[in-house]
Each structure stands twice: as C-alpha cells, then as structure tokens.
A and B are shown apart, each in its own frame.
Chain A
Amino acid sequence: KNEVEQSPQNLTAQEGEFITINCSYSVGISALHWLQQHPGGGIVSLFMLSSGKKKHGRLIATINIQEKHSSLHITASHPRDSAVYICAAPPGGGADGLTFGKGTHLIIQP
C-alpha cells in the first residue's frame, strides 16, 4: 500500500513569497496528482504528472520518479492561494482510486 507523506503540514507566508510544498510516496506509481481545496469547498485538480515538470500560471509541479518525490511550487504567492494542497497517488498493488496525503494548510498573508 502506498504511503503518501506531505510537508510541511502548515505554512504561513507573506504575499509575494515563493512557496514549496513537498510530497513523497513509498510505492512506484504511474502518475501523481496535486489537488487544491478551499475551506468548506470543493476539490480542484491542479496537476496530474508522471515525469518532469508541468506549469500552469503561477503553479509549477515537478516529480522525480526515481526518488519517489514531487514538489508543488507557487510563484508570487497571493492571499487567494490560501487553501489546503493535497498530494495523491495510486495506492499500488493494482488497487483503484487514490491515496491522499494529509494536506498542507497554506495561508498567504497580505
């Protein structure tokens, strides 16, 4: 079974700062997901990536398959980026669905 670990658990930063959230997993996977959840809100899928790097606006996601590690970066952070960011991976062993990290609570202060 895949163990998905995220760090940090909580992160408070000032507007404009460069943000990095890390994710590691224990079982080799085909692709990893980064999700965003606002308090009391729905879940938005930000990225699904299987190698290298993807960029969407101010968000960048990278993955190193050999090291079983992924990072989510936010450039020029803004208060509206405040949310929980969740890393998710297939559970492994042919099982279905996703296994989720506990999430990183990000607060960007103006």
Chain B
Amino acid sequence: DAGVIQSPRHEVTEMGQEVTLRCKPISGHDYLFWYRQTMMRGLELLIYFNNNVPIDDSGMPEDRFSAKMPNASFSTLKIQPSEPRDSAVYFCASSWVGGPEETQYFGPGTRLLVL
C-alpha cells in the first residue's frame, strides 16, 4: 500500500484566500484524523471521522475550518478565509480499529504558509 497520501505537500497563499487540503487514507482503514502541528502548540487533533462520519470536531479552531469525507478514500480540510495564524503543517492519519494495535498511520503532511 502507498500509505496515507496528502496533497498538496506545500501551499503558499495570501490571507483571505480559500485553502483546500486533501487526504487519501490507507485502503480498509475506517478512521481518519486531521491534525495540525506548530512549534508552539505541537500536534493537535482537529477532527476525526469513523466510516466517513464526523465524530468529533471539537478541535476545529473556528468556523473558518471545515472538513468532509464524501467516501472512504477521500477527505478534505478547507480553510476559508485563511489567516497568517493558520500557517502550520497539517497531517492526515488513518487507522484500522480491527487491527492488533490502535496505531495511527500518518501522511507526509501539507506545509501551509499564509502570507
């Protein structure tokens, strides 16, 4: 398997623009997580899905952030409008609860810079 795939790998945009981050989880995994990582706050969970259904979005910073999972192989995280404080690395991770351990498999991340 190719692992968790994220695109784009890097994104530079101007304040106020819409940003869409994409994730393809590992086939067969039924949980999908979106994280944000910064030097100041570390790795923070934003939202997670189980079987394509959002379960907990309490980590989403504000209404400017939204996430969808239209099917088992694709998810998006959208920021509209973007602000400089949204600059961070965004990771998508997936897991398979039926597996031997409750581990999460992370993608390579999208490095977002909002000017």
A and B interact physically: no
Residues on B facing A (Cβ under 8 Å): none
